[in-house]
Amino acid sequence: MNSPPLVASYNGQIRPLEEITLVLNDAGFVFGATVTDLCRTFHGRPFRLPDHLARFRQSARLARVPLLVPDGELHHIVEQVLQHNKNNVPSQVEWLIVLLATPGPLAHVFGQKDLSAQPQPTLIVYAYPLPCWRYAPLVRQGAILKTASVRQIPAASIPPQIKQRSRLHWWIADRSAPPGILALLLDQEGFVTETSTANFAVVRHGCVLTPRREKVLPGVSLAVVEELCQRLGVPWIETDLRPEDCYGATEAWLCSTPYCLAPVAQIDDRALRCPGPLYERIIDRWSADVGLDIRAQVLSNSDI
Helices and strands counted in the chain (H then E): 9, 14
Residues 15 and 61 grouped into a single domain: yes
Measured distance CA(157)–CA(146) in Å, rounded:
25
Residues 78 and 161 grouped into a single domain: no
Q: Is residue 179 part of a domain?
A: yes
What are the Cα distances from residue 232, in Å, to 115, 227, 281?
A: 57, 9, 9
Residues 145 and 261 grouped into a single domain: yes
**Where is 136: in which H helix or E strand?**
helix 132-141
DSSP-assigned letter for residue 105: B
- Residue where one domain finishes, among candidates 83, 98, 130: 130
pLDDT of residue 15: 96
Residues 163 and 238 grouped into a single domain: yes
Residues 145 and 110 grouped into a single domain: no
pLDDT of residue 1: 47
Residue with more model confidence, 5 or 125: 125
Closest C-alpha among 199, 204, 211 to residue 239? 211
Q: Find the domain containing 27 and state its range.
A: 7-130
Q: Is residue 290 part of a domain?
A: yes
This prediction's pTM:
0.93
Residues 126 and 139 grouped into a single domain: no
201-217: average pLDDT: 96
- Residue where one domain finishes, among candidates 130, 153, 181: 130
- Percent of the chain at pLDDT exceeding 70: 95
Q: Is residue 2 part of a domain?
A: no
Measured distance CA(301)–CA(304) in Å, rounded:
6
Contact 150, 176 (CB under 8 A): yes
Residue 88: CATH number of its domain? 3.30.470.10
DSSP-assigned letter for residue 301: T
pLDDT of residue 117: 67
Q: Is residue 243 part of a domain?
A: yes
Residues 124 and 142 grouped into a single domain: no
The total domain count for the chain is 2
| pLDDT higher than threshold 50 for residue 288 | yes
- pLDDT tens figures, 154-175: 988 999 999 999 999 999 999 9
Q: Is residue 115 part of a domain?
A: yes
> What is the chain's Cα-based Rg?
20
Residue 184: CATH number of its domain? 3.20.10.10
- pLDDT tens figures, 102-116: 999 998 776 666 666
Q: Is residue 218 part of a domain?
A: yes
Residues 115 and 150 grouped into a single domain: no
Residues 60 and 199 grouped into a single domain: no
Q: Is residue 161 part of a domain?
A: yes
Residues 109 and 219 grouped into a single domain: no
pLDDT, averaged across the chain? 93
Measured distance CA(281)–CA(67) in Å, rounded:
39
Residues 154 and 216 grouped into a single domain: yes
